[in-house]
Structure formats: structure tokens, C-alpha cells
Amino acid sequence: MKKENFVTLVMSAVGGLIFALGMCMALLPEWEAFTSGVVCGIIGAAVLLAAVFVRRKMTNASPVKISRRTVGIVVYGVISTIVFGLGMCMTMVWEGILLPGIIVGIAGIALLLGLIPMIKGIK
């Protein structure tokens, strides 16, 4: 395994775990840790963002150029993730809307799968 792959693996795993723990702390009322959960989530997101910069630096990749296409893809990804999350909430949190939640969740998955041809293209 190359060094940049190992560093990316470790930083992504640590950042993802910290972010997930923060989200659990913030969103589970039984834990009564909303404020510290938000802080933990922000730290996890910062570690994940740092992993992107470290990876690009280690592989000598050029900096990301912000264009309309890049912004559009990010906005599409955020909206798709929100639709997917809404479906999850409908099935697991809110009562009585299991089937519509499954349908919305599947729609969110389909939207997220649309990111692949959007980013990589169809050949």
C-alpha cells in the first residue's frame, strides 16, 4: 500500500468516526449532548476536509479549480443527500410514514447514483 493511500485511509476513518459520533450526540435526545455533538461533528468534518488537502498534496495533484460545473455538482450532491436523509427520517424517526419514506429514500439513492456519470462521464 502506498503511503498516500494509507494516510488517506487513516484520516478518512478517523474523521468519519468523529463526524458520525458528533451527529449521534447532536441528534439523539437521550444523550443530551447537542452542543458538544455539534462541536464534535465540526471537528470530524474538518479532519475529512484536511484529508482531501493532504491527499492532493501527497500525490502532487493540481489544486481544485472552482467552476460553475463544480458548484453545480456540489449543490446536486447536497440536495441528493438531503432527499436521502429525508427518506431515512421518514422511515426511522417519524411515525406512520414508513412506505413513503422508503420511496423517498430510494429516490435519494437514485439521485446520488446520478453523481457518478455527472463526475466521471459516460464513455
Per residue in 8-39, pLDDT tens? 999 999 999 999 999 999 988 888 999 999 99
* Ranges 14-23, 26-35, 46-55, 76-85: which has the least confidence: 26-35
If you average pLDDT over every residue of the chain, what do you get? Answer: 93
Q: Are 26 and 34 in contact (CB under 8 A)?
A: yes
62 has a pLDDT exceeding 90: no
| pTM (global) more than 0.75 | no
Question: What is the pLDDT averaged over residues 86-98?
Answer: 90
pLDDT of residue 93: 85
What is the pLDDT, as a whole number, of residue 123? 81
C-alpha span between 79 and 81 (Å, rounded): 5
Confidence of residue 94 (pLDDT cuts 50, 70, 90): confident
Cα Dmax for the chain: 52
DSSP designation for 123: -
Q: What mean pLDDT is predicted for residues 87-116?
A: 93
Residue-level pLDDT at 74? 94
Q: Which residue has the cell 503511503?
A: 3
